Amino acid sequence: MKRTKLQHRLARKRRIRARVRGTAARPRMTVYRSLTQLTVQLVDDDAGKTIVFASTKEAKLKPNRDGAKKLGTLVAKKAKEQKIETVVFDRNAYAYHGRIQELADAAREGGLKF
């Protein structure tokens, strides 16, 4: 039986999540991309808690490359306020290209280390 597009995406997500795990000292920076918004969370997987959250909707940005860049700097700023300097990047089955890459690069420029 042929796999659907969604099944391929979920398989990629499972492969990534099998290797990526966040702790309190080095949380997992997970990205969700939709047509209407981008969201980013810094998650402590040991405690099962979200430490930092930001979205383009919250920051009143458009979910394009410019909005992703501004969202990356916003997340880096919020992480610095929580005294977080290093993270593990979880691209969440999305290709490291376009909006996802802009967000990651902006977060690096903002001071986060991947």
Domain ranges of the chain: 5-109
Give the tokens for residue 58: 């919250």
Give the tokens for residue 24: 């309190």
Strand partners, 90: 30
pLDDT at position 41 is 97
pLDDT tens track for 78-89: 999 999 999 999
Q: What value does the mean pLDDT take over residues 65-87?
A: 96
- Which parts of the chain are beta strand (E)? 28-33, 38-44, 49-55, 88-90
Which amino acid appears at position 83 of this protein? K
pLDDT tens track for 8-61: 999 999 999 999 999 889 999 999 999 999 999 999 999 999 999 999 999 999
pLDDT at position 1 is 83
| b/e per residue 30-69 (b: at least 16 CB within 10 A) | bbebeeebbbbbbbbbeeeeebbebbbeeeebebeeebbb
- The CATH number of the structural domain formed by 5-109 is 3.30.420.100
